[in-house]
Amino acid sequence: MVSVAYVIYVASFITLACTAAVGVYGVLAKRNIIKKIIALTIVGDTANTFAILLGFRVSANVMPPVLPSLNPSKELLTRFAGAAVDPVPQALVITAIVINLAITAFLLFLAVRIYSLYGTLDYGKVIRVRRGELDGEG
Partner 1 sequence: MVDPAAPEAVLPALAVLTPAVTAFALPLAHIAGLGRRGVEALALLSSIITGFFSVKLLAAALSDGTPLTYCFGGWPPPLGIFYEVDVTGALLGCLTACLMFLIVLFSVGYMEDDGRLYLYYTLLMVVEAGMLGCFYTGDFFNLFVMIEVTAISSYALVSYLRSDRVAVAASLKYAVYGALATTAYFAATVFAYGSMGTLNMADMHAKIAGIPTPLTGTGFANVGLGLLVFVALALYAFTYKSALFPNHFWLPEAHSSAPTPVSALLSGLVVNVGIYAIVRFTYTVIGGASAVGKYLPIALLATGAASAVIGGLLMNLQRDVKRLIAYSTVMNLGFIALGYGLSTDLGVAAATYHLVTHAVAKAMLFMSAGLAIACVGSRNLSDLEGVGRASPFIGFMIGVSTLTLAGVPPLSVFMSEYALITAMVRAGNYFALAAFLTAYVSGAVAYLKLLYVTCVKPPRKPRTEIRGRGATYSVLTILAVACVALGLLAPLIFRSVFMPAAHTLMNPSQYLKAFLHYASTLTSYSP
- With CB under 8 A as the contact rule, the residue among 35, 85, 96, 120 that binds partner 1 is 96
Check binding of 118 to partner 1 (CB under 8 A).
yes
- Contact track, partner 1, 57-76, x by CB under 8 A: --------------------
Do residues 43 and 23 make contact, with C-beta atoms less than 8 angstroms apart?
Answer: yes
Q: Which is nearer to partner 1, 11 or 94 (CB)?
A: 94
Do residues 19 and 44 make contact, with C-beta atoms less than 8 angstroms apart?
Answer: no
Do residues 80 and 88 make contact, with C-beta atoms less than 8 angstroms apart?
Answer: no
Rounded distance, CA 74 to CA 82, Å?
12
Burial of 33 (0-12, 13-18, 19+ CB in 10 A): buried
Check binding of 137 to partner 1 (CB under 8 A).
yes
Q: Which residues bind partner 1 (CB under 8 A)?
A: 20, 24, 27, 33, 36-37, 40, 43-44, 47, 50-51, 54, 78, 81-82, 88-89, 92, 95-96, 99, 102-103, 106-107, 110-111, 113-114, 117-118, 123, 126-127, 130, 137-138
